[in-house]
Structures are given as C-alpha cells and as structure tokens.
Structure 1
C-alpha cells in the first residue's frame, strides 16, 4: 500500500490513543474507527500496524531508545517488520530519520536481551524460567509474534466436518481440518464469516482448536447433568451441548449478564434444547449450592491472565503484572473449590486456563489436590487417546503455539472418587 502523510498521521493518532493500554487495544481501536471516517484500505493499514507494533513493542522501544514516540515506533515497525523499504518511506521522513532507520534494519536480534528477543516482559520470563529453558521461552515468545489463524468448530448437531470443508473448498477458501480436534477447521486467510450461510444456520462457530480439546477431556455423555462453571459467551458450552446430542441437562453459569446475553443468539442458531443459562452473583451463589453432589461433569475455564491468547491480543502481556496474576490465582483457587462441590462420586471436573504461567495452572491443581483428598487426577493424555486425538500429553494438557499451533491452553482432569459430604470436599 502506498504510504502517505495522511496514512502515517492516522496510524500515529491511533497508536497514541492505544499505547497507554488503559483498555484492551481492540476496543480502543474500534472506538477510534467510530470517530474517523476513513476507507477500508486505511482501516486495514492502521489495524495491521497497530497490532504489529504491539507484537514487537519491546524491540521497537529498544530501537527507538529514548525517543519511543508513536511516530518513530510506526516508522521502525514498517522498515523492520512491515515489508517497506527506505525508498518507500523516504517521502515521509524528517532530517536524520533515514540513517536511523538504516540502523534499525541492521540490528541483530541475537545480540538483544531475552525479553526483547521473545517479546515477553521480564516478569513473565522470570515466572517461566523455573520450568522452561531459555530456548523454550524464546520459541514460545516468537510463536506469539505472528497473528493466529482462524479456527472454526463444526456444530455436529447440524453438520459434519467433511460437509463444511467441501462447502468452503468449493467457494475457493483455503480450509483444512485441524490436526488435533476432529471437529475443527482452520482457515488460512481470515474471511468475514458473520454473513455466511454456514454461520447463520449455526453449523459453524469460531473457536480455537485448543479450546475445542477441552470438550473431549470432559467427554460428557448424553444423559449427564453438566455444568460450565465460567461459561462466558458460551463457546465451549455449545460444544458440550452438541456432544450430548442436546440431551441430558447443561447449565451455563456466569457472573456477567452481558456475556450470557451474548450467548442467546448463538444458542438460538445452535439447535440445542438442553442448555440452561444461569446468572450467578459469585462462585458460592445459592443457585450453585442447590446442585451440590448432583452433577456428572463440570468444566471450569477459569478467569486468568489470558497470556495464552497473545497472538490475538498482543497488548495483554503489557496490561498484566505479577500483582494481577496473584489476584487471579486467589480467584482460581476459590472457583475450583466451589465448583468441585457440584460433583457426584465418580464425577469429572476439567480445570482450564488460557495461560502458560505455572502459578495459574500446575500450582492451583497441586494445592487443590493437597486440600481435597476426595479427588484424584486423571491423565489427560489417556483421555485424549480414548477419543483418538493424536497428541502427546501425559498428566496435564499443556498446549503452546510454538508446539501445537493453538493458543496456549492448560487443562487438568480431576475425578471425585469418595463419597463425602460437600463440607468435606
């Protein structure tokens, strides 16, 4: 795309509004676009540059030294990562910027500190180093510097994956089956699907492949009573309902009325009749207590730092902190303890986060098992193998974009094995 002063100014103003990172970048950018009457090409350039700058922010700040202004970060991004050369940028440059950009282009990544190479804040690296080598951290960080593909889940209540693939391929889309989830489809280019007949008819939903695997770990049966404890907008809930063939009883619990409201149109499209959304005030709501000891399967996709979604939300690693993670771990422990009381003897609970931090994952499970002797852990790898999912996984499921091409997900499978009163669990 031809770069002009007008287009550079648009990017600078958008970046200036986003970089304080007081709000999620995508929300701030939507607000910016609502107040700017600009064409689709300009929107695309602004969005691509903004998210590119956020993905490479630590390198760009290093390259800009003491002058990390929106202007200089934009120019440095374009020359280093955006595919533009000095000749294309020259008409936009001020005195001295041409030689500086030449220096930016010549920087050797290998000479930079690990946080800059991995594009991960130093505190994140410090929390990973006890369990990951620097090489693994670098691979993880680099894998999150590229945008995520668009993954879809086929609603098996209404269609098969082969049928959906044939439709997409007949339309010339670059659509392939996901390597792990047997009901997933990956689109290389990100077409707008909101008006597509397959979406409008409820046959497909947007859902990362890693998220789909959680359903196979829970493995609900048709006649089960199932609870999605932190349902949000219900993506995983809808999958569970389809796995149950719209039989049994499925509760979608959440503390956010807005998120549950977003579930309603999706539920209408899905064809499910066994799903019951329920607004709760907190994890110990009386509505939950009425279900203690009655539930066969519980999914706890716990609130977390969200660092595993950094390919989609590159700003999130700058909006979290060690303090915010500590707050999440307290919440996760409380939610897991409450959700566990729902299970019948022999019932199964899957605890999951979209985080790669051990504090939000292994540490939560280890502490729970120590405090709740009525529960044991089931090997995630065994359960996936039973579902013919070709993934090397042992006790936990730990998905990483560097290894699996999915968002970073963690999951542990817990089972209640003793007959105990809820107070003893």
Structure 2
C-alpha cells in the first residue's frame, strides 16, 4: 500500500462525480471491510492456493462475510455497466470452498488473527498482556465521528441544536469539555458550522491531549510538531485568543493548511514557524522563553489503526527503530524552549511503551531539571486514564483513538544550577529517518 487509502478513495470519487452519496457510502464500507480484514483474507487465499489479487480478496470477503448467498454474490459480478466481469470457473470454485466459513479460523497465527504486523505484535503483547485480544478487536470496529466546538465562535449547546436540526443524532462527549460525538455518518458539506470555523473534526482523545497542555490566557506556548494545526487550534481557543501560540513544523505545506484553519476559526494569537529540523537555530535563540511546549511527536500511529485501517500495512516514513531516536532528539531539542517552572508535554498517537513511557523515562534520566507532573494535578477529571501519572487512552477502554501524553515540569532551582555549571542542553542529532 504505497499511498494512504483516503487519498486514493478521494481521487477515485473526484473522477466519478456521478456516483450518488448512498452508493459512495456503500463503496467506502466495502473498502474499509477489506482493509480491516487484510491479513485474514490473505491467509484464506493462501490456504486455498489462490493468487492474492484485489478481485480475489473482494470475492473472498463477500463469501466470508456471511450476509449474501452464493447466487447473490455471483449476480454482483454481472458484467453489466459499472459491474465487475462475470465469475470464471476457478472463482466459482473459490466461492464453493469458502461456503459456510467465517473470517476467523483457529489455525491462524496471532499476527493474522489480530490483524497486526509482525513488528508491532510483541510490543503490543508486552503493553496489554491478557487484554490484547480485546484491544485488537476494538481496532476492527468503526471509529467514532467526534467534533470539537470552537468556544471563540460558538457553544456546544448551539452546535448540538444545529446537528439536531439536520436530523443527526449527537451528544456531548463524555470526557472532552468542548467535544461532540455524532452517531451517524453524514456528508460534511451539510454542516455549515464546519465551514465557518465554529466546529472542527477532532477525535476526543486528541482533544484531551490539548486539555492536559493546560495553556492559560496570556501565556506563551509552542506546538512543536503542529502539522496542520488540530491541537494548535484547541490550545489557542483554550487561551481565549490571548497570549501567543507558535505552531512549528518541518513541513511548510502543513503549516500553510493550518494557517487557513486558524484564520477561519477567528484565532489571532497563533503564529506559524517553519523549522528546517528539530535543531533549527530558532530553538536555541528562544531557549527558556515559553510557559508550555507541546511535542506531539511523529510515531508509529498504532493508536489510529481503527480510524486508518490501512496504516498498519503501509511502510511510509521511518520504521520504529528510526522513530525512537528521532522522538528522543525532538523531545530534547524542544525541552530547551521551556522556561523555569514551565511545562513540557510529550504526546503520541501510539500504544507502544517504547514510544511512550520508556521514551519519557529515558528523557528524565538525561534531563534531571524535569519532573513528572501527575495527571491528577493537571486534569483531575481525567482519572479514568489507564496510567496513574500519564494520559493513556485506548480504543477498547475509552472509545477514542489511542493517545499518550506526559506532562513534565522544569524545576527552577535545577535550571539555575545547570546554567551555573554550564551544562549543555544541545541534543544528539538522531540522523535521517529511513
């Protein structure tokens, strides 16, 4: 899978604008099902000695899904306008072999049964232990549609009323103070508040990461890996449009997309800053200048597999062995921006301890000026987290994407001591990713 599936699907529909909305929904459902059962479909094809092709995968899923009879499946392959070519003899033979089977089989190895790439299986077993089957099963369910209300321009009650007027079932999020969960898929163009910047699409877990940054009006804040600015928007709104937020990223195109979102949201306290790398000279020039620094680090994305079922099988970007030193380098560099008594928040959308707790432990061992601020001190209402000190969310336990966040505070006395001793805070360059 060389490209993200959402980009492929978007291009497919742009070239076929004649496809009606209901049919688009059915096509998306089918594509999602094929991706969620990727490993198991491949296993079934191999078991019966069949070539692993898109057509064979589709045929196998239609048979194993159990919702259609053999005749109904064959009728789908009619060869008529827009329909696939009629089944050949060997394809009808495959249908016969799969008749009465389900997608599961007791002979499947764990990596197939859990739809988990081999590189992630052992780390996930270490993280979840006996709870792993439940966690991986949750990854195969539909991800919720969450919205975040922009308090600068709207209220949650107003947004809920607007959704109700459209006939869309929705409710206030359980955990995020500005969140809304919509219980029905719909065309986003129907909801005007998305276009006006009054509402943004944002998973509830992502909203909670912005919550633990706990930025206050008038403070100086850096979102060090801002991307297109989803968490930047939440942080700036949390600050009531007062103070100063700098959205940094090494990809200028993302920052340009973010700047348009900031303007639409009516947020004027945000500045964008393109960095050449995590060790850009701008970081050194602004050492010790900020009250809050968020590092939403590049990661394996294991926490988003439910939302992006193709992501677990794509190999875009650095692998885990390269991500770990990259994360450490980014965290060490961003830490220089934190002023005495200021806070550094390290976050990922990963479920792996290697990228989360272990990364924080290594940072603290190398940077004694910082200490952990327990979650109960930052956001006592988030006491449902799976970890006593950190925000740790999973799809199975919290029905959000998988997120991790640790709040680290720079101690003023230690900073003075380090400056007096001339200790260097320059990070080790982790080298280029693969």
CA contact 1:180–1:390 (8 Å) conserved in 2: no
Q: Does 1:102 align with 2:99?
A: yes
Question: Unpaired runs of 5+ in structure 2?
Answer: 78-86, 426-434
Q: Could you tell me which of 241, 253, 271 is aligned with 1:246?
A: 241
Partner deviation per Cα, 1:5-58 (whole Å, 9 max, x = no partner): xxxxxxxxxxxxxxxx11222222333444556523554443322221111111
Determine the structure 1 residue equivalent to 2:396: 402
Q: Could you tell me which residue of structure 2 aligns to residue 29 of structure 1?
A: 9
Preserved contact between residue 114 and residue 138 of structure 1 (Cα < 8 Å): no
> In structure 2, how many angstroms separate the alpha carbons of the residues matched to 1:321 and 1:31?
19
TM-score, normalising length: structure 2: 0.87
Matched, 1:165 2:154: no
Note if 1:225 corresponds to 2:225: no
Aligned residue in 1 for 2:37: 56
- Name the SS of the counterpart of 1:104 in structure 2: coil
The alpha-carbon deviation at position 170 of structure 1 amounts to 2.8
User: How far is 1:354 from its partner?
Assistant: 0.6
Deviations 1:176-224 (A, max 9, x none): 1111111100111122224532122211001000000012211011111
Pick one of 37, 57, 69 that aligns with 1:73.
57
1:319 is aligned, of 309, 314, 323, to 314
Structure 1 SS opposite 2:319: helix
Q: Which runs of structure 2 are paired with 1:75-154 in the superposition (5 Å)?
A: 75-81=59-65, 83-91=67-75, 92=77, 93-95=87-89, 96-105=93-102, 108-133=104-129, 135-154=130-149
Counterpart Cα distance in 2 of 1:322 and 1:27: 16
Q: 1:141 deviation in Å?
A: 1.3
- Kept in 2: contact 1:193–1:199 (CA 8 A): yes
Query: Residue 128 and residue 349 in structure 1: after superposition, are their counterparts in 2 closer, same or farther (change >3 A)?
Result: same
Question: Which SS does the other structure have where 2:71 is aligned?
Answer: helix
What pairs with 1:204-353 in structure 2 (closer than 5 Å)? Answer: 204-320=199-315, 324-353=319-348
Decide whether the 8 Å contact of 2:127 with 2:352 is kept in 1: no
Structure 1 contact 241–250 (Cα < 8 Å) conserved: yes
More deviation, 25-34/410-419? 25-34
After superposition, give the CA deviation of every residue in 1:345-378 in whole Å (9 maximum; x if it has no partner): 1111110011111211112111101100101111
Structure 1 residue 257 displacement after superposition: 1.0
**2:165 is equivalent to residue 181 of structure 1:** no
- Tell me the SS of whatever aligns to 1:293: coil
Task: After TM superposition, give the deviation of residue 390 of structure 1 in Å.
Answer: 5.4
What is the alpha-carbon root mean square deviation over aligned residues?
Answer: 2.1
| Structure 1 residues 260-280: Cα deviation after superposition (integer angstroms, max 9, x where no partner) | 111122111111111111111
Q: 1:389 to 1:170 in 2, by over 3 A?
A: farther
CA distance 1:321–1:116, shift in 2 (3 Å): farther
Aligned partners of 1:117 and 1:138 also within 8 Å: no
What is the TM-score when the length of structure 1 is the normalising length? 0.89
| 8 A contact 1:118–1:140 mirrored in 2 | no
Structure 2 SS opposite 1:415: strand
Alpha-carbon distance change, 350 to 211 in structure 1, aligned in 2, over 3 angstroms: same
How far apart are residue 79 of structure 1 and its match?
A: 3.0
Q: Report the secondary structure of 2:231's partner residue.
A: helix
- Go from structure 1 to structure 2 and tell me whether the alpha carbon gap of 1:165 and 1:44 turns closer, same or farther (over 3 Å shift): closer
Count of aligned positions? 401
Do the aligned partners of residues 390 and 291 (structure 1) sit closer, same or farther apart at CA in structure 2, a change above 3 Å counting?
same
Change (3 A) 1:131 1:312: closer
* Post-superposition CA distance 1:96-143 (Å, at most 9, x none): 1331230533x654553222221112321112222321x422112111
SS in 2 for 1:410: strand
SS at match of 2:181: strand
Rounded to whole Å, the distance in 2 between the matches of 1:413 and 1:370 is 15
Q: What's the secondary structure of 2:128's corresponding residue?
A: coil
Alignment equivalent of 1:416, drawn from 410, 413, 418: 410
CA separation of 1:367/1:390 partners in 2, compared to 1, >3 Å: closer, same or farther?
Answer: closer
Question: In the alignment, is the contact (CA less than 8 A) between 1:54 and 1:314 conserved in 2?
Answer: yes
Return 404-413 or 392-401, whichever deviates more: 392-401
Aligned residue for 1:18? none
Match of 2:83 in 1: none
